[in-house]
């Protein structure tokens, strides 16, 4: 008797609650979707479209379709007989970018691992302070920090002054505007990105395993190599990704420390919107860069979601 | 005069999840709770007692069934439209408000005039013995004090029914025992129907007017504490409440109001019958350890003794290897009446053994 | 393998440490030094800029004496006033917009079962973090150029504000989301139990408890906008110089001067203050 009456009442209430839930959530998320969609994603599409247009003389584009931007990445048209000649210049820049990013990753791992380990082995009350200390530089202006590096490494800079003062050298060492300078700048910018994931991983380390290692007559070096580092592997991988991928897109560092002579992909793109006035080419390069970055991320995400299902440790 | 019905659940079911992972937390539960009653839902974790409470409060919608408050259907209403209030296990005091603001919250939501709110808050503070502490923040209170504030916050709204979700479980023993008496007194004084959820059977027995023992989404037995304790209907209830001996026996025949049963090891007793009493049938009997008397004899031997202060628990081994637990009060000087190795006979008073339906 | 088997006494000796200190199983030799060097390296440039801003002589690397002269010059500089005003207007507006949006997005995406479309929202919100800044700069510049030329719409400084808002959203989102996830769900249930409608529960319970997260997120968003250079450089129109752009302009025209040091020092200190604020507020109970 009551069964027939009560079922619709509950069902109605449940359906209404479900509708309210979905509507509420979607409504709350919509400002983000709209703003990011219109002013974040739509511009990327426009950029993609622009890469297929013709460069206008004083910057900007002319609305006619061409693949010239992508072609000129690898080839140059001979002005006389219109044949294509392979031009390695841009590929060199890409190669330099990858190599610099790679070296930066390795260097940041070498410096970052001991730092993260040290932080993770501080008493718990101190750790938050260390995390804050390492993260703080990230939040300051990159432009300022990078030119400050210039102050340090340039010919009349602090390093050279110091070395001359203590008599180690007579002539200044030319550090600025070299690949090394760029790498130094990249290392400086991205070090916190390596330290923090490593720290997170190491903080969770069960030091009873280390204790067991010592109990089994291992030296400190062995314990480090065979116990600590393998267990910190997720952090190491995360750190490498967090350094390598953004380093590929670095702009300010090669701009200031490369001096316009040593380009990375980022600074190359920027010149297309400044002196070179080749917007479509810049857009094409930007698109290729973004594609590389997204692809690398996708590969990383796919590989980690697989791994996380495997029992670890 | 029969008390009016405060809460009624009709055939309530609740299923969580879908498909293979579905969990049937409540399975067609029907129960009637009277006004002015201290009603307890008792059972182990996962038995459905908290689910039933949450369905009454409105935090979940039932999958099927109805819930009525004073005759009105409420199973489809959100919590803020039901005249019930809850005391949460974690107290759920608003950390950014003072004690007084916490207590006043429900009244403010219902647009009670400010002067009335202040008066009620003071009244409630007095009721839970926290007068003068209205300006404190929850983080400055002890566990026991937080619990009182949670109580006051709920009671301030003069609900028809107060739901209490294991409110004493976070307190230490002495505090818990003290709060039991206070809660009972509070219920009597305010006349509000209390629905109390706990897994602690001692709590249930000391505080309740009626207890619903639950297991696996169903009510196993419903009755007053005495009834639940003395007359458990099935193995679960007998086992969950207090200590019980489960004895397998064969029916020998009737003996007046009782049934004569033959147990292993030469033990004969007269049991309370349930249902069919065909001679030769095998039944399970439940006997409470404290009902059994030991006297020197040769039926069995003491295998183990455990001193528990006022009493001693004896484990008696019978001839066929079966064991029976017996609890007897110690002598006036505190010493146990028997020691390991003593020979004893077991005396079970007529009717103290109960047959279980299973 | 190359090592010989150690006797028990040797093991104990090693364990006791050469200087007889109590054995700290966590210690790795040299790691502390590297850590301190790392910190020194991270802070050296900042300290140098700030330090030499107080330098009396025009040299940026040779110290002569303490002086506030450069700060006086900076504070009197009209161009800097202009740039500062632009920076503050953009950062404030972008912060407000980004924080409101991020709060709503955090409320939509946390503390509930997964709903269809939720992952798309995550992707959108995290997008600015993933895409390289130079790419965003190029894309945005193209977008507004298109808007101005073909459709004839330009929001003036609003272009920059909207652009900044987009990449500030994830920075505001993360602390708010963290705070929200930490919050006890039963508190809102208790509010509902005490006759609060969902809106009342939000206003009286959720929002007050969320405020530290919102403040923390807003501070971070402000700093991200305040410090932005790459994107602003490509998107800014005439007369829309911000402080980072001004510094860049000076660097290009006259190189590093003490004046540049001074204004840079101010920017660095502002960043540090805001981040510290965000950190402290976010940790308050």
pLDDT tens digit string along B158-181? 999 999 999 998 888 888 898 999
Q: Cα A145 to the chain's mean position, in Å?
A: 17
Number of Cβ within 10 Å of residue C270's Cβ equals 18
Angle at B202 between CA B199 and CA B208, to 5 degrees: 85
Please, which pLDDT band fits residue C164 given cuts at 50, 70 and 90? very high
Task: Answer yes or no: is pLDDT of A121 > 60.
Answer: yes
- For residue A281, the chain C residue with the least C-alpha distance is C138
Give me the pLDDT at residue A310, please: 44
Global pTM exceeds 0.90 = no
Task: Answer yes or no: is pLDDT of C3 > 80.
Answer: no
Residue B281 distance to chain C (closest CA, Å): 53
A156/C34 Cβ within 8 A = no
C187/B92 Cβ within 8 A = yes
Residue pLDDT, tens place only, A184-212: 999 999 999 999 999 988 888 888 887 88
Task: Answer yes or no: is pLDDT of C18 > 70.
Answer: no
A11 touches chain B (CB under 8 A): no
C192/B85 Cβ within 8 A = no
Task: Answer yes or no: is pLDDT of A312 > 60.
Answer: no
- For residue B62, the chain A residue with the least C-alpha distance is A10
Task: Answer yes or no: is pLDDT of C64 > 70.
Answer: yes
Residue pLDDT, tens place only, A210-268: 788 878 877 777 777 888 888 888 889 889 999 999 899 999 999 888 887 788 999 88
Q: What is the complex's ipTM, to 2 decimals?
A: 0.85
Which structure tokens are listed for B178?
Answer: 């003290």
Give me the pLDDT at residue A307, please: 54
B10/A10 Cβ within 8 A = no
Give me the pLDDT at residue A7, please: 64
- For residue A37, the chain C residue with the least C-alpha distance is C124
d(CA B46, CA B34): 25
The domain segmentation of chain A, as residue ranges, is: 89-307
What subunits touch chain B, counting only 3 or more CB pairs under 8 A? A, C
A152/C43 Cβ within 8 A = no
- Residue B336 · residue B304 · CB < 8 Å: no
Task: Answer yes or no: is pLDDT of A309 > 50.
Answer: no
Mode of pairing for the β-strands spanning B258-263 and B245-255: antiparallel
Task: Answer yes or no: is pLDDT of C59 > 80.
Answer: no
The dotted CATH code for A89-307 is 1.10.3720.10
Region of C57 on the Ramachandran plot (φ > 0 left; ψ -120 to 50 alpha; else beta): beta
Residue pLDDT, tens place only, A62-93: 888 888 888 888 888 777 777 777 888 888 89
| Mutate: best of B76, B78, B80, B82, partner A, most A CBs <10 A | B76
Chain B neighbors of C197, CB-CB under 8 A: 80
The domain segmentation of chain B, as residue ranges, is: 5-239, 243-355
Residue pLDDT, tens place only, C246-283: 999 998 888 778 888 888 999 999 999 999 988 888 77
Give me the pLDDT at residue C62, please: 67
Architecture (CATH level 2) of domain B5-239: 3-Layer(aba) Sandwich (3.40)
| Mutate: best of A3, A10, A12, A21, partner B, most B CBs <10 A | A10
Give me the pLDDT at residue C19, please: 46
A21 touches chain B (CB under 8 A): no
C186 touches chain B (CB under 8 A): yes
Domains of chain C as residue ranges with CATH? 69-283 (1.10.3720.10)
- For residue A259, the chain C residue with the least C-alpha distance is C252
Residue pLDDT, tens place only, B43-100: 999 899 999 999 999 999 999 999 999 989 998 899 999 999 999 999 999 999 999 9
Per the model's pLDDT, the better-predicted residue between C112 and B330 turns out to be B330
- Residue B201 · residue B42 · CB < 8 Å: yes
Average pLDDT, chain C: 86
Question: In this complex, how many residue pairs, one in chain B and one in chain C, have their CB atoms less than 8 Å apart?
Answer: 57
Number of Cβ within 10 Å of residue C71's Cβ equals 18
Report C:147-206 residues touching A (Cβ under 8 A).
Answer: 149, 162-163, 165-167, 169
Helix ranges (DSSP H) in B198-294: 201-207, 225-230, 235-240
Give me the pLDDT at residue C93, please: 96
Give me the pLDDT at residue A68, please: 81
Give me the pLDDT at residue A171, please: 77
- Residue B230 · residue B246 · CB < 8 Å: no
A112/C268 Cβ within 8 A = no
Give me the pLDDT at residue B187, please: 93
Which of A9, A12, A14 lies nearest to residue B73, judging by beta carbons?
A9
Number of Cβ within 10 Å of residue C18's Cβ equals 7
Average pLDDT, chain A: 85
**Phi, psi of B22, rounded to the nearest 5 degrees:** -65, 140
A141/C268 Cβ within 8 A = yes
| Mutate: best of C193, C200, C210, partner B, most B CBs <10 A | C193
Which of C193, C196, C208 lies nearest to residue B85, judging by beta carbons?
C193
CA distances to A51, A123, A145, A220, B84 from A209, rounded to whole Å, are: 55, 18, 41, 13, 53
Question: In this complex, how many residue pairs, one in chain A and one in chain B, have their CB atoms less than 8 Å apart?
Answer: 25
C41/A152 Cβ within 8 A = no
In this prediction, residues C11-35 reach a mean pLDDT of 67
Give me the pLDDT at residue B338, please: 87
Task: Answer yes or no: is pLDDT of A8 > 80.
Answer: no
d(CA B343, CA B295): 8
Q: Which residues are CB-contacts of A161 (< 8 A; sequence separation ≥ 6)? A: C61, C62
- For residue A130, the chain C residue with the least C-alpha distance is C39
With tokens 């692809």, the residue in question is A295
CA distances to B107, C182, C189 from B92, rounded to whole Å, are: 17, 14, 9
- Residue B94 · residue B136 · CB < 8 Å: no
In this prediction, residues C192-205 reach a mean pLDDT of 94
Find, among A183, A190, A156, the residue nearest to A254 by Cα: A183
Q: Which segments in chain B show pLDDT lower than 50? A: 1
Residue A26 distance to chain B (closest CA, Å): 22
A134/C115 Cβ within 8 A = no
Number of Cβ within 10 Å of residue B31's Cβ equals 18
Task: Answer yes or no: is pLDDT of A280 > 60.
Answer: yes
Give me the pLDDT at residue C214, please: 94
Please, which pLDDT band fits residue C61 given cuts at 50, 70 and 90? low
């Amino acid at each position: 008797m009551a069964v027939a009456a009560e079922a619709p009442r509950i069902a109605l209430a449940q359906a209404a609650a479900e509708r309210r839930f979905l509507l509420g959530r979607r409504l709350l998320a919509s400002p983000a979707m709209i703003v990011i969609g219109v002013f974040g994603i739509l511009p990327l599409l426009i950029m993609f479209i622009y890469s297929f247009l013709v460069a206008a003389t004083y910057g900007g584009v002319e609305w006619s379709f061409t693949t010239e931007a992508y072609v000129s990445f690898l080839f140059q048209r001979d002005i006389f007989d219109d044949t294509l000649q392979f031009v390695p210049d841009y590929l060199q820049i890409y190669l330099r970018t990858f190599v610099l990013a790679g070296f930066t990753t390795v260097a940041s791992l070498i410096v970052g691992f001991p730092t993260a380990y040290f932080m993770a082995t501080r008493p718990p009350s101190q750790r938050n302070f260390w995390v804050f200390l390492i993260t703080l530089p990230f939040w300051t202006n990159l432009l300022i920090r990078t030119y400050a590096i210039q102050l340090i490494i340039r010919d009349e800079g602090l390093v050279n002054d110091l070395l001359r003062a203590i008599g180690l050298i007579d002539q200044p060492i030319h550090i600025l505007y070299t690949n090394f300078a760029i790498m130094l700048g990249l290392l400086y910018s991205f070090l916190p990105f390596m330290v923090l994931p490593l720290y997170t991983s190491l903080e969770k380390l069960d030091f009873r395993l280390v204790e067991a290692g010592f109990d089994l007559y291992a030296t400190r070096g062995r314990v480090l190599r065979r116990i600590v580092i393998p267990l910190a592997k997720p952090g190491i991988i995360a750190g490498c990704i967090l350094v390598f991928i953004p380093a590929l897109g670095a702009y300010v560092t090669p701009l200031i420390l490369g001096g316009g002579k040593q380009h990375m992909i980022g600074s190359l793109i920027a010149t297309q919107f400044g002196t070179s006035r080749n917007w479509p080419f810049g857009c094409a390069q930007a698109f290729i860069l973004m594609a590389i970055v997204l692809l690398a991320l996708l590969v990383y995400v796919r590989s980690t979601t697989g791994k996380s299902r495997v029992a670890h440790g | 005069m029969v008390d009016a019905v405060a809460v009624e659940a009709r055939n309530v079911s609740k299923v969580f999840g879908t498909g293979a992972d579905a969990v049937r937390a409540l399975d067609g539960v029907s129960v009637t709770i009277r006004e002015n009653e201290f009603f307890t839902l008792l059972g182990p974790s996962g038995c459905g007692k908290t689910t039933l409470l949450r369905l009454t409060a409105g935090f979940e919608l039932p999958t099927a069934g109805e819930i009525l408050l004073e005759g009105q259907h409420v199973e489809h209403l959100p919590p803020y439209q039901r005249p019930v209030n809850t005391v949460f296990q974690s107290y759920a005091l608003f950390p950014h408000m003072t004690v007084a603001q916490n207590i006043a919250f429900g009244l403010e939501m219902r647009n009670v005039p400010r002067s009335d709110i202040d008066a009620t808050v003071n009244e409630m503070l007095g009721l839970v013995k926290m007068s003068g502490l209205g300006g404190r923040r929850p983080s400055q209170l002890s566990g026991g004090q937080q619990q009182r504030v949670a109580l006051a916050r709920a009671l301030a709204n003069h609900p028809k029914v107060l739901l209490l979700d294991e409110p004493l479980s976070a307190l230490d023993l002495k505090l818990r025992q003290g709060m039991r008496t206070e809660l009972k007194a509070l219920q009597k004084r305010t006349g509000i129907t209390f629905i109390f959820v706990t897994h602690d059977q001692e709590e249930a027995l000391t505080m309740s007017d009626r207890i619903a023992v639950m297991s696996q989404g169903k009510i196993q037995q419903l009755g007053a504490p005495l009834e639940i304790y003395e007359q458990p209907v099935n193995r679960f209830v007998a086992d969950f409440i207090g200590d019980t001996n489960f004895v397998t026996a064969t029916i020998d025949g009737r003996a007046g109001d009782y049934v004569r049963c033959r147990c292993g090891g030469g033990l004969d007793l007269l049991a309370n019958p349930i249902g069919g009493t065909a001679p030769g049938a095998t039944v399970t009997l439940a006997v409470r350890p404290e009902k059994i008397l030991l006297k020197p004899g040769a039926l069995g031997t003491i295998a183990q003794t455990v001193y528990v202060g006022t009493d001693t628990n004896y484990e008696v081994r019978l001839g066929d290897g079966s064991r029976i637990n017996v609890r007897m009060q110690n002598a006036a000087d505190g010493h146990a009446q028997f020691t390991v190795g003593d020979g004893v006979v077991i005396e079970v008073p007529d009717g103290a053994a109960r047959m279980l339906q299973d | 393998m190359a090592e010989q088997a150690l006797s028990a006494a040797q093991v104990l000796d090693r364990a006791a440490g050469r200087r007889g200190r109590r054995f700290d199983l966590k210690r790795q030799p040299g790691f502390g030094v590297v850590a301190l060097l790392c910190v020194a390296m991270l802070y050296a440039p900042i300290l140098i800029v700030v330090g030499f801003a107080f330098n009396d002589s025009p040299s940026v690397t040779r110290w002569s004496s303490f002086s506030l002269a450069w700060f006086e010059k900076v504070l009197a500089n009209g161009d800097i006033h202009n740039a500062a005003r632009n920076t503050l207007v953009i950062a404030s507006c972008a912060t407000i917009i980004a924080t409101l949006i991020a709060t709503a997005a955090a409320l939509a995406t946390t503390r509930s079962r997964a709903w269809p479309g939720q992952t798309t929202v995550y992707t959108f919100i995290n997008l600015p973090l993933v895409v390289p800044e130079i790419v965003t700069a190029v894309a945005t510049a193209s977008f507004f150029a298109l808007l101005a030329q073909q459709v004839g719409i330009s929001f003036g400084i609003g272009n920059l504000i909207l652009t900044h808002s987009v990449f500030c959203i994830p920075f505001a989102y993360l602390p708010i989301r963290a705070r929200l996830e930490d919050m006890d769900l039963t508190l809102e249930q208790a509010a509902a139990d005490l006759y609060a409608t969902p809106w009342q529960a939000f206003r009286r319970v959720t929002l007050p408890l969320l405020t530290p997260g919102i403040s923390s997120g807003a501070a971070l968003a402000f700093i991200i906008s305040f410090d932005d250079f790459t994107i602003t450089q490509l998107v800014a129109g005439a007369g829309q110089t911000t402080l980072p752009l001004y510094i860049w302009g000076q660097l290009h025209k006259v190189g590093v001067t003490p004046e540049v040091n001074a204004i840079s020092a101010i920017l660095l200190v502002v960043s540090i203050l805001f981040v510290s604020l965000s950190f402290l507020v976010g940790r308050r109970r």
